[in-house]
C-alpha cells in the first residue's frame, strides 16, 4: 500500500476518510504491515502483506465463499499475459485505452490484477482496484512496481473508497454477486458527477443452454469440489474447445460453411490462446457458486433511472453485455437512456450494437 492511496480510501462502514495510524513494516515505498483508523467512527483496519483489508466483518457468507473460490483460480494462474490487453479492450469497448490517460480509475473485482496493470500502463493518474478475495494479494504482487496502481481488499457492495473517480470499470464480476444490480449501483456510486463507468457481464441470450445444463452441475458439484479435482475436470472441456478452435475457429477462418458455427466470434478470439488459458476459462465458469446470465432487459434496467446519461449497451461476441454510462447525479431527470446510433436489430430481435 502506497500512502498516496489514502486520498481515495473511505471507511466501508461510515464513509469517512482513513488515516494511517501505525506502520510496522515498509518496503520499496509500500506500507507492508500496519493499521488504518477511520477518522469518523474510529474503526481500525489492518494492512497485511501490502494490502489494506477493508472488508467489513459482516460480509454475506455467499460473497465470501465466491471470492474464496476465485482465489483458488487467481493464486494458481498468477501470471500476466500479452493477449489480456486486446481481450480487455474488447470487453470494455467503446471505452478505449486513451480514456484512462490522466484519469482516476476504480476497478471493481480485480482478481489477479491483470486489468489493474493494463490501466496503470495506459497512463491512469491512479487506479484503485478492489477485490474481496485473497486474489488481492496476487494483484498487489503483480502491480507493486507501478506507482499509480493500488490494490485494496474490500466488498464491492460497500466499496471502501470516496466517490471521486473519473472512470470505474468492472469486468466479469457483477454476475458473480448475489444481486448484480446492487453491484452495478455500487460501481456507479464511486464515480464523480460527470464521470463514466463500464461493466461487462455474462449475457443470457445465446447462453440459455448453460443455465439449463451447466448451472445445475455447477451448483451441485463443481463449485464444491477441490481445486485439484476441478482443474483435472476442466481439462476435458478445455481439450474439446482446443480441438474445435484449431479445426474450425482459427483466426482468418470465417467460420462459415454448410453450418454457421456457434460462438464464432468468441471462439475465434481465443485461437492464439495457450491450452492452459482455455483450462482457466473452463475452471472460471465452473468454480463459482454464483453465476447469473443476464438478459439485455435487466442490464438496461440498471442504468435506466435518473442518474445516468449516454447509456450504451453492446452485445459482445453475441453472448455477453457491455454497458457504458455517464453518471449525472446533479442533472434533474438525468439518466434518460440515449441509445447509440449504431444500434441495429440482432438475433432474436434484440436491439444491439455490433460487437467489437
Ligand X SMILES: C[S@@+](CC[C@H](N)C(=O)[O-])C[C@H]1O[C@@H](n2cnc3c(N)ncnc32)[C@H](O)[C@@H]1O
Candidate residues 172, 255, 289, 346; the one interacting with ligand X per rule CB under 6 A: 172
Stretch that binds ligand X, among 4-12, 142-150, 168-176, 310-318 (CB under 6 A): 168-176
With contact defined as beta carbons under 8 Å apart, do 113 and 140 qualify?
Answer: yes
| Residue 316 lies near ligand X (rule: CB under 6 A) | no
Q: What track of x and - describes contact with ligand X for positions 124 through 153 (by CB under 6 A)?
A: ------xxxx-x------------------
Name the strand (E) or helix (H) holding 300.
helix 296-302
Nearer to ligand X, 118 or 328 (CB): 118
Nearer to ligand X, 103 or 115 (CB): 115
Nearer to ligand X, 238 or 328 (CB): 238
Shortest Å, Cβ 43 to ligand X: 19
Nearer to ligand X, 36 or 67 (CB): 67
With contact defined as beta carbons under 8 Å apart, do 156 and 187 qualify?
Answer: yes
Q: Does the N-terminal peptide bond of residue 94 adopt cis geometry, omega within 30 degrees of 0?
A: yes
With contact defined as beta carbons under 8 Å apart, do 249 and 271 qualify?
Answer: yes
| Residue 67 lies near ligand X (rule: CB under 6 A) | yes
Candidate residues 36, 47, 54, 70; the one interacting with ligand X per rule CB under 6 A: 70
**Lookup: cell for 257:** 460453411
Candidate residues 142, 157, 234, 320; the one interacting with ligand X per rule CB under 6 A: 157
| Residue 292 lies near ligand X (rule: CB under 6 A) | no
**What gap in Å lies between CA 163 and CA 97, rounded to an integer?**
22
Q: How many amino acids of this chain bind ligand X (CB under 6 A)?
A: 24
With contact defined as beta carbons under 8 Å apart, do 37 and 255 qualify?
Answer: no
Candidate residues 111, 160, 163, 195; the one interacting with ligand X per rule CB under 6 A: 111
Q: What track of x and - describes contact with ligand X for positions 26 through 65 (by CB under 6 A)?
A: -------------------------------------x--
Nearer to ligand X, 59 or 350 (CB): 59
Other C-beta atoms lying within 10 Å of the C-beta of residue 281: 16
Nearer to ligand X, 142 or 206 (CB): 142
**207-236: string of b/e by CB count within 10 Å (b at 16+)?**
beebeeebeeebeeebbeeeeeebbebbbe
- Range list of β-strands (E), 15-145: 18-27, 30-38, 44-48, 51-52, 104-108, 126-131
Other C-beta atoms lying within 10 Å of the C-beta of residue 133: 26
Residue ranges in contact with ligand X by CB under 6 A: 63, 66-67, 70, 74, 109-111, 114-115, 130-133, 135, 155-157, 171-173, 176-177, 284
Amino acid at each position: 500500500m502506497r500512502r498516496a492511496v489514502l486520498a481515495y480510501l473511505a471507511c466501508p462502514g461510515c464513509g469517512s476518510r482513513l488515516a494511517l495510524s501505525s506502520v510496522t513494516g515498509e518496503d520499496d515505498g509500500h506500507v507492508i504491515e500496519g493499521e488504518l483508523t477511520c477518522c469518523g467512527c474510529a474503526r481500525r483496519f489492518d494492512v497485511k502483506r501490502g494490502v489494506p483489508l477493508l472488508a467489513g466483518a459482516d460480509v454475506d457468507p455467499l460473497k465470501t465463499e465466491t471470492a474464496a473460490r476465485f482465489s483458488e483460480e487467481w493464486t494458481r494462474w498468477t501470471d500476466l499475459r500479452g493477449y489480456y490487453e486486446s481481450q480487455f479492450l474488447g470487453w470494455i469497448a467503446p471505452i478505449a485505452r486513451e480514456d484512462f490517460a490522466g484519469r482516476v480509475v476504480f476497478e471493481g473485482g480485480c482478481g489477479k490484477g491483470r486489468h489493474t496493470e493494463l490501466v496503470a500502463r495506459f497512463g491512469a493518474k491512479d487506479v484503485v482496484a478492489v477485490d474481496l478475495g485473497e486474489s488481492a494479494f496476487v494483484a498487489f504482487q503483480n502491480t507493486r512496481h507501478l506507482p499509480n496502481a493500488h490494490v485494496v481488499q474490500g466488498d464491492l457492495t460497500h466499496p471502501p473508497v470516496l466517490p471521486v473517480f473519473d472512470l470505474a470499470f468492472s469486468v466479469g464480476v457483477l454476475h458473480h454477486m448475489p444481486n448484480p444490480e446492487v453491484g452495478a449501483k455500487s460501481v456507479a456510486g464511486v464515480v464523480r458527477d460527470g464521470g463514466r463507468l463500464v461493466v461487462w457481464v455474462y449475457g443470457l441470450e445465446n447462453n440459455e443452454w448453460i443455465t439449463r445444463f451447466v448451472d445445475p452441475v455447477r451448483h451441485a458439484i463443481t463449485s464444491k469440489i477441490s481445486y485439484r479435482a476441478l482443474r483435472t475436470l476442466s481439462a476435458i472441456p478445455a481439450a474439446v474447445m482446443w480441438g474445435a478452435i484449431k479445426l474450425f475457429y482459427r483466426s482468418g477462418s470465417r467460420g462459415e460453411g454448410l453450418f454457421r458455427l456457434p460462438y464464432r466470434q468468441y471462439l475465434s478470439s481465443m485461437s492464439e490462446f495457450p491450452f492452459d488459458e482455455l483450462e482457466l476459462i473452463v475452471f472460471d465458469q465452473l468454480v463459482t457458486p454464483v453465476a447469473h446470465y443476464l438478459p439485455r432487459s435487466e442490464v438496461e434496467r440498471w442504468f435506466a433511472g435518473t442518474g445516468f446519461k449516454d447509456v450504451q449497451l453492446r452485445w459482445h461476441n453475441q453472448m455477453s453485455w457491455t454497458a457504458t454510462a455517464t453518471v449525472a447525479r446533479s442533472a434533474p431527470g438525468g439518466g434518460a437512456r440515449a441509445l447509440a446510433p449504431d444500434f441495429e436489430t440482432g438475433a432474436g430481435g434484440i436491439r444491439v450494437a455490433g460487437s467489437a
